[in-house]
Structure 1
Amino acid sequence: SQMAALAAVTGPQDCVAQMRDEFRSRRDLMVSGFQEMGVDLVVPDGAFYLFPRVGDGDEVAARLTKAGVIVVPGSAFGPGGKEHIRLSYAAARPQLEVALARMKDIL
């Protein structure tokens, strides 16, 4: 496993740049979608999660789950998250587009 780790960090890195660009594109898609809905959020610099402010995060998470959009209520991350939900944009772009369309009906 150490040899594999060494190969990963010393070998060709072009695939890393491609994935970084793809995740940036997915992030921008989701951020734009939330902004169009008037939802407040901080644009993340890293990772692949968003933490938008949606009001009652527990209620919104339950409604989104019923609509087939999997999110985590922000309250799971402490009392400061109660007005938020957490979601990943690591899914395929078509799935993210469907999720945004479903969220527009709820948010």
Structure 2
Amino acid sequence: MGPADTMETEGGVCVDTFTATSKSGPITICGTNSGQHIFVDFGSNTQSTLTFSFGTTPGGTMAMREWRIRVDQISCLAMNTPPTGCIQYHTSLIGQIQTFNFEGSNGHLANQR
């Protein structure tokens, strides 16, 4: 999901965002997130929403957008269930953790937690 680099942000705020809202609160990401994952805790009696917000780049043009979203449901009793409020859960002994937002190490969103 765009923007692909820091040139497409305005003051550290992304032009396009994806927000997942659950009982743990909202999670907002943007940028290129290929290979990333997030856990959204729906709970048993909770209403959750997914929201896409689109804007224009500073030059007033619309960016090309592409999504490939995979949704899996994990039982609350499964051994691989992440802790409550954990949006990413890695169990491998080795690997690389990257920021949501931008490919490479260009920076973080101003409001990223």
- For normalisation by structure 1, the TM-score amounts to 0.24
| Structure with a larger share of its residues in helix | 1
**Structure with max Cα Rg:** 1
- For normalisation by structure 2, the TM-score amounts to 0.23
| Structure with a larger share of its residues in strand | 2
